[in-house]
Amino acid sequence: MALKNEKNKIIREKKSFHLINIQDTNSLTISPQLSTNFQASSLQFFLGIDSITNSAGVQGGCLDPMQGMYWTWLSGYINLKLEGHYPSASTSFQYHLGGYRAPFNTLQTVEIEIPDAKYLEIPIDIEKLFTQAEDSTPDHIMSPGKEAMQLSKLTATMFPSSVK
């Protein structure tokens, strides 16, 4: 996670990994270890885990495989899990998006314009993922590859380009 100011100066949080779990309200509030003395104009973060972290050995905290965001049959982090049912149909969907090896590196960059504030609320619009996805997108994507790559590109659009 990083902050940028008007002069394009960037400060980055060290060892910056945050896991957001919609079922765990505590995880929905993030307090990054960043200087409060910085007139930020935008917030930047990766959606997913970079390839260097992916290539390393087992790690702890929110990177611990016990969090369920690590594939077991294949080495690598799952960047985003989204599972559910369509209300109109009896079909379910299950998306475990990840993969860090070229040409299917699913890591996305998000940049959001922000006001200079101590507390920010960032809405995530999951519907955007579904309205933009092609009709041919399968209901189940659970391994790295072309399909995971295509859907991952849309995940960044769930975040707003600016917040007030």
Partner 1 sequence: MSKQFLLAAFIVILLVAFRSREKPLFVAPPSWPQPHYDFNENPLTASKIALGRVLFYDPLLSADSSTSCSSCHSSYTAFAHTDHALSHGIHDSIGTRNAPALMNLAWKKSLMWDGAVHHLDLQALAPIAHPAEMGEELQHLTLKLQSTGMYNVLFKNAFGDTLVTGERTLKAIAQFMLVLVSAQSKYDSVMQGKTQFTLQEKKGYRLYQQHCSGCHAEPLFTNDEFAYNGLPADPKLNDSGRMKITGDPKDSLHFKVPTLRNIEVSYPYMHDGRFMNLTAVLKHYSTSASALPLNNPKLSLPLPLTPADRVDLLAFLLTLTDKNFLFNPDFAYPKKIIEQATKESERLRK
- Nearer to partner 1 by Cβ, of 63 and 110: the residue is 63
Residue indicated by tokens 């910085």: 38
Q: Which two tokens stand for residue 36?
A: 């409060």
Nearer to partner 1 by C-beta: 67 or 105?
A: 67
Structure tokens at 44: 């930047």
Span 78-137, contacts to partner 1 by CB under 8 A: none
Tokens encoding 151? 């859907």
Strands 78-85 and 10-12 come out as: unpaired
Please say which residue, 55 or 109, places its beta carbon nearer to partner 1. 55
Bin 100: left if φ > 0, else alpha if -120 < ψ < 50, else beta.
alpha
> Is 138 an interacting residue with respect to partner 1 (CB under 8 A)?
no
Applying CB under 8 A, the site for partner 1 has a residue count of: 17
Q: Which is nearer to partner 1, 42 or 51 (CB)?
A: 51
Is 86 in a helix, a strand, or coil?
A: coil
In terms of Cβ atoms closer than 10 Å to its own Cβ (0-12, 13-18, 19+), residue 100 is buried
Q: Least separation, in Å, of the C-beta of 116 and partner 1?
A: 37
For residues 59 to 78, the per-residue mask of contacts with partner 1, x marking binding by CB under 8 A and - elsewhere, is xx---xxxxx-x-xxxx---
Close Cβ partners of 112 (under 8 Å, ≥ 6 residues apart): 42, 43, 44, 122, 159, 160, 161, 162, 163
Region from 4-12, 51-59, 84-92, 148-156 binding partner 1, contact rule CB under 8 A: 51-59
For the bound state, the minimum distance from the C-beta of residue 118 to partner 1, rounded and expressed in Å, comes to 32
Residue whose CB is less far from partner 1, 11 or 149: 149
Closest approach of partner 1 to the CB of residue 64, in Å: 4
Output the CA angle 106-11-125, nearest 5 degrees: 45
What is the binding site for partner 1 (CB under 8 A)? 55-60, 64-68, 70, 72-75, 145
